[in-house]
Amino acid sequence: MSLPGIRLESVRRKSGGRNHLTPRVPRSGPVTTLCGQTLAADTYSAVETDADCANCVRRSRDASRISSAFFEQEEGSELLRLSLEQARFRKPAPRPALDSAKPAKSVNRPIVEPPPATPDRIGDLVTSGFKAAGNGVWRSPAGVIVRMAGKGRERFDELVFEGAIVATRLEDGMRLRAGDVEVTASGGEVQVRIRR
Ligand SMILES: [Zn+2]
């Protein structure tokens, strides 16, 4: 196909004729070809051979045709991917002098609500560098799992790590280093953080 990243499928009437192109051959129900024909359910089958319908082949080079074909088949995620491909496809030849002066064209993209901000510290845990895995479980970049317990999941409960662990005695406590995580228990206080 001439459009990068877009794979079209071939379909043919059971009664014979040309191989047509379509975004997806559905498992059941009618299929619409790129050349605009609707083949009724059970009257067509997917074929592995290349399309030989001239209209389908020509339209397979037309991004907007394919886009609407995808849309008809409600290929939502494919459509999104296609629109991104199209944006690249339609980009005019670069004109450096102009491009640098022009602000980047805004792209239609779904609005994603940012996740709620994580506090710097939750009880014993210094959250910087950790990824929340939910339910008081946190994961460090090196794969150390830290589980917090208690009210508000503020109390260090457990650390799991398959790798080198070094425990060091402190004057009034202990420090544990597991991967990229450091747990310091000292003077009745516990602090869990990513090592710097
Ligand atoms: Zn066709």
| Cα first-last separation, the chain | 50
How many whole angstroms from 33 Cα to the centroid of ligand 1? 6
How many whole angstroms from 71 Cα to the centroid of ligand 1? 17
Most confident of 43-47, 78-82, 95-99, 112-116: 43-47
What pTM does this model have? 0.42
Would you say residue 20 has pLDDT above 90?
yes
Q: What mean pLDDT comes out for the span 23-50?
A: 90
How many whole angstroms from 185 Cα to the centroid of ligand 1? 72
How many whole angstroms from 180 Cα to the centroid of ligand 1? 59
What pLDDT does residue 1 have? 40
How many whole angstroms from 56 Cα to the centroid of ligand 1? 4
130 vs 4 pLDDT, higher one: 130
Would you say residue 193 has pLDDT above 90?
yes
How many whole angstroms from 55 Cα to the centroid of ligand 1? 5
Chain segment 103-132, per-residue pLDDT in tens: 555 566 666 666 667 889 999 999 999 999
Q: Where are the domains of the chain?
A: 9-101, 121-194
C-beta separation of 23 from 56 below 8 A? no
Q: Which residues surround ligand 1, an ion (CB under 5 A)?
A: 20, 33, 35, 53, 55-56
153 vs 84 pLDDT, higher one: 153
Q: Which neighbouring-strand residues pair with 174?
A: 169, 185
